[in-house]
Structure 1
């Protein structure tokens, strides 16, 4: 299968001022991954699998690299922007590589990268409407869905918002539940395919028991806006889904951190604060920001690596 590059190729173009990702193309799949290209001898390495958080956007050293140094074992970083679990199921050669290593660190990825009856994700966040074939971002796709089931305009705005905070439109709620069921099934299929021990890794500014936006924290699913419905990364995913897949893994590490977040973006050439133009990643991202207010900061990457290290060291002892 040809590699889909709309995310990763855009990351380097967008982020060149801050980080050189040393991108390389994998010969077997055509996909582009963060470098430097690893030198893997025999099976003496481990694999990190995930999305942009594992890739390490805006971070000179993502957690796979930090962890590799801490435990003294080479790493294969298969972080791919916008990926969900079903993305990796499309590439058996990547799974073969996971199975040749000693163990796998598997990130809890977003729920919005999963397909359902309305949208085909291809395992990525950029969706295709099944009825029209139009390609659209997940934010726009679900925002349109919410608007199709809006409450009557005759209702006072504050009342409409309050109702949607607690009671979602039944068709939207059903589609979200279908999406989450598919997400769990994709993780189960991926875990069945991975024959080596798996450490499931959660990294977020929120606990899986809570939902969160830039200004609020809550414990139920809201439907008053697409941002509220998704919540902070990993979008849509809560404790129930995490528990379902964590029970099938050798270990589970939960890193909830806001250290260094949001991250002021500084040019590696001048040392000066330099805003990022997000349209260099994708044309539908038309905004400029002085901060990374989405991806884990370098300090958050350090926190996850520190939590993973003792777990992985114990697995290495048991595998020796």
Structure 2
């Protein structure tokens, strides 16, 4: 059973596909025959567990069709490697592109699933040589992999992170250059509380990385929002009985409104 059929999106959220893309987007399916702007990205753009994601709010505020091309578990590889998505974005009048996370990409240390970019398919020989004492047998997700590497509490993790940072800038710059439509890049930082009090090792897309790709896009918005478990929005979200732990780590309706408010002017400047 594929992941889009498991109820992972949240209560009441349909999935759909467009054109030749192999990704699953937020439904219901909408016509591509009339002009539209596109919002592409991961689970925040999809609007997991919320009734009206920022794409829907933008549509109302701008009075123009806004296609939600957010896809769960969509990261660097899905954005850059799905030819059908690329075609969809180039059919749009303009595009808001949520900058993908740092870990969700294949690189010289590990490979991720081409569509579900949160999954580690296999570590490379370079990673096993860098960590000869490590056992990667039970490591299946990129987040788990990074937590596991940090447990060794030495500088080797920075070698991996530096590879990811260079790779991210290269791939996103190339994607932006290939797109023929104006793009507003959304640098969205989702703040989550952690009980880990060790010296922090940043596995996030940094302002420096965003600045590096800024010349390749028409506009950029940098914004930070909190997950619903920290912002007291949980009661305004839609989720099943067993989905509350996941919903607590997603952004809520007020965060989506904040994102839409920040995007209005940059989008209007491109009209």
Structure 1 pair 262–241 and aligned structure 2 pair: CA distance change class (3 A): farther
For 2:160, the equivalent position in structure 1 comes to 175
1:102, distance to aligned residue in structure 2 (A): 0.6
CA apart distance, 1:49: 1.1
Write out aligned runs for 1:114-263 (5 A): 114-122=105-113, 124-131=117-124, 136-147=140-151, 149-150=152-153, 169-205=154-190, 213-214=193-194, 224=198, 228-230=200-202, 235-258=203-226, 261-263=231-233
CA distance in 1, matches of 2:213, 2:251: 22
CA distance in structure 1 between the partners assigned to 2:9 and 2:72 by the alignment: 13
Partner of 1:245, secondary structure, is: helix
Shift of residue 114 of structure 1?
Answer: 1.7
The match for 2:80 among 84, 89, 95 is: 89
Alpha-carbon spacing, 1:14–1:47, altered in 2? closer, same or farther (3 Å): closer
Structure 1 residues 267-303: Cα deviation after superposition (integer angstroms, max 9, x where no partner): 86xxxxx77525xxxxxxxxx63x8332221101011
1:300 aligns with 2:255: yes
Alignment of 1:283-294 (within 5 A): 289=245, 292-294=247-249
Kept in 1: contact 2:118–2:143 (CA 8 A): no
> Using a 3 Å threshold, how does the CA distance of structure 1 residues 214 and 104 change in structure 2: closer, same or farther?
same
SS in 1 for 2:73: coil
Gaps of 5+ in 1: 151-168, 207-211, 217-221, 269-273, 279-287
CA distance in 2, matches of 1:134, 1:27: 36
Q: Given the two structures, how large is their TM-score scaled by the length of structure 1?
A: 0.71
Match for residue 36 of structure 1 among 21, 28, 39: 28
**Cα distance in 1, alignment partners of residues 23 and 49 from structure 2:** 20
Secondary structure (helix, strand or coil) at the match of 2:201 reads: helix
- Give 5+ residue unaligned stretches, structure 2: 125-135
- C-alpha displacement at 1:252, in angstroms? 1.1
Aligned 8 A contact 2:22 2:84 in 1: no
Give the drift of 1:196.
0.6
| Residues 1:79 and 1:14: Cα distance change in structure 2 (over 3 Å) | closer
Distance 2:190 2:160 in 1: 26
Q: What's the secondary structure of 1:202's corresponding residue?
A: strand
Q: 1-side partners of 2:184 and 2:65: how far apart?
A: 16
Instruction: Specify the SS of the correspondent of 1:112.
Output: coil
Shift of 1:229: 3.0
Distance 2:178 2:217 in 1: 12
Q: Does the C-alpha gap of structure 1 residues 178 and 293 become closer, same or farther in structure 2, counting only changes over 3 Å?
A: same
- Take 1:170 and 1:116, find their aligned partners in 2: how far apart are those partners? 19
Q: 2:133: which partner in 1?
A: none
Q: Partners of 1:196 and 1:296 in 2: how far apart?
A: 28
Name the CA distance, whole Å, in 2 between partners of 1:61 and 1:106: 18
Q: Please state if 1:23 is matched with 2:27.
A: no
- Give, in whole Å, the separation in 2 of the partners of 1:240 and 1:51: 21
